[in-house]
Each structure stands twice: as C-alpha cells, then as structure tokens.
C-alpha cells in the first residue's frame, strides 16, 4: 500500500478508480526540473544558487534508474536563454530578477544565469541516451513557451511525476499548469527542494490540496509496481 501527503499529513492512497490515473505507468513520464549547474554549482559565481537541491542529485539519479528499469520515460527540463540576452536580461526582464534579491540579497553574476553555451546550463543529474531534454524554458513555467506539452502528448502521456527545484517556484508553477492542462500530477516529496523548508512545506501543502498527489519516491515506485510496472532487475 502506498501513502500520500495531504496538507503534510501522511495517509493511505485512496483505493478508488479515479486515483489510479495518477499512477498508471503506461501513461506516465517523469519530468525533472532545472537540475543544472546554474542552480547547483558550488562555484562562488553560481548565478542563481539553490544549495539545498544539491542533496537530491544522487537520490534523483537513483530514482531515475528505477524508473528506466520500469520503462518510465525521463524528461529533463532546463532553462536556456539566448546568448544575445534578448530572452531576458536585455529583453523583457524576468520578474524574479527584481523580487528574489529582495529576499536573498544581490546575486553576483545573475545576468549569466542559463545563458546558452555556458557551463550553467549543464545538467548535474545523469542523462541516459533514451531520455528526452526540453531546453526552451525561459521563465518559471516548464510549459510556456516550451514544447513539453507537445512532447508529452506525442508520447501518449497523461500523468507526470515531478522532481527538481525550486519546490515553491518552478515545481509549484509546473503543478498548476500541468493540472490546468488536465495531466494527473504527482510530486516526489523527497526529490524536490525549495527556497527554504518553510516555503517548501507551504508549496507541497498547496499542491496536495489543489493539484497533485504528494508522495515519497519509494511509494511512487511501489504504486507503479502495483499497476504491473515490473522492473527489469526484478524480472531477471
């Protein structure tokens, strides 16, 4: 039996047919959000540091290996901005560049965040040959103006599992938009990280109330196995 978190409270996943669609392995893809060096680098000039997310790199890699073994596709979404700066710093300035520093202070090198061809767009999590990459993310959304929805529909995907960062920013935005597009959304609670624990907790609670199932990654795997997604290792 798999569990979910509803407003932070752990309880059994309802054994009702409508909930089965959230965890149908035949129609699911895992979407990993912005696990790149622009957030995760230890360098002093990291343009938008998300140091709490460094601790989930290895766990995400392990989860992705378990997903691949079950035939669940992985899609890595990363922010990539044109070198000209017209997507952001020399065009329509992203709101986060103005308001986020009000909380964290000035971010040295922020104008280099996600610039194409820079080391900051390199993914820290492992990418397998069979994985897909979406790299037209320009703002907080993984869907606009990207082709992620187009890709998911061509793959026959109707349910998504999110990991990555920030929980209270791009992951929360992704859950809103995916739900509005009628995808069934699950968020891997142990494989996302937010600005801080308070904001992470608040975002997970909001998602659990309005948009998504919030689950631990091991419970997600167990639920898939309960739907017949046997891993290759188990089969052998």
Structural domain includes residue 207? yes
Structural domain includes residue 236? no
The per-residue DSSP string of 16-48 comes to: -HHHHGGG-GGGEEEEEE--BHHHH--STT-SS
CA angle 189, 195, 201 (to 5 degrees): 40
Domain range for 29 is: 20-226
If you average pLDDT over every residue of the chain, what do you get? 95
pTM: 0.96
Length of the chain: 236
- State the CB neighbour count (10 A cutoff) for residue 152: 24
Report d(CA 56, CA 35) in Å as an integer: 9
Question: How many domains is the chain partitioned into structurally?
Answer: 1
CA angle 60, 65, 71 (to 5 degrees): 125
Q: Which two tokens stand for residue 117?
A: 């061809």
pLDDT at 232: 46
Structural domain includes residue 234? no
pLDDT at 233: 46
pLDDT at 228: 85
Sign of the torsion formed by the C-alpha atoms of 235, 191, 177 and 16: positive
Structural domain includes residue 6? no
Structural domain includes residue 183? yes
79: helix, coil or strand? strand
Q: Which two tokens stand for residue 61?
A: 């890699």
Structural domain includes residue 13? no
Answer yes or no: is pLDDT of 196 > 70.
Answer: yes
Side by side, which strands form the sheet with 159-165?
132-137, 74-79, 28-33, 159-165, 184-193, 212-215
Answer yes or no: is pLDDT of 56 > 70.
Answer: yes
Q: Tokens 């509803």 belong to which residue?
A: 6
Q: What is the pLDDT of residues 88-140, one digit of tens each?
A: 989 889 999 999 999 999 998 899 999 999 999 999 999 999 999 999 999 99
Structural domain includes residue 1? no
**CATH number for 115:** 3.40.50.850
pLDDT at 235: 42
Structural domain includes residue 9? no
Helix (H) / strand (E) element for 75: namely strand 74-79
């Amino acid at each position: 039996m798999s569990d979910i978190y509803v407003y932070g409270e752990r309880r059994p996943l309802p054994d009702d047919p409508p909930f089965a669609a959230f965890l149908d392995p035949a129609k699911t893809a895992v979407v990993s959000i912005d696990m790149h060096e622009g957030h995760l680098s230890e360098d002093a000039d990291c343009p938008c540091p998300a140091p709490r997310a460094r601790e989930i790199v290895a766990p995400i890699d392990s989860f992705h290996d378990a997903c691949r073994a079950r035939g669940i596709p992985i899609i890595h979404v990363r922010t990539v901005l044109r070198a000209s700066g017209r997507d952001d710093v020399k065009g329509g300035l992203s709101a986060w560049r103005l308001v986020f520093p009000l909380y964290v202070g000035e971010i040295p090198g922020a104008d280099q965040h996600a610039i194409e061809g820079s080391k900051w767009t390199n993914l820290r999590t492992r990418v397998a040959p069979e994985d897909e990459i979406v790299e037209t993310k320009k703002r907080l959304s993984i869907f606009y103006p990207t082709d992620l929805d187009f890709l998911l529909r061509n793959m026959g995907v109707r349910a998504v599992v999110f990991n990555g960062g920030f929980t209270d920013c791009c992951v929360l935005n992704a859950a809103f938009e995916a739900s509005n597009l009628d995808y069934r959304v699950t968020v891997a609670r142990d494989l996302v990280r937010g600005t801080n624990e308070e904001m992470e907790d608040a975002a997970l609670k909001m998602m659990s109330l309005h948009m998504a199932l919030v689950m631990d990654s091991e419970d997600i795997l167990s639920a898939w196995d309960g739907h017949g997604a046997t891993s290759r290792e188990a089969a052998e």
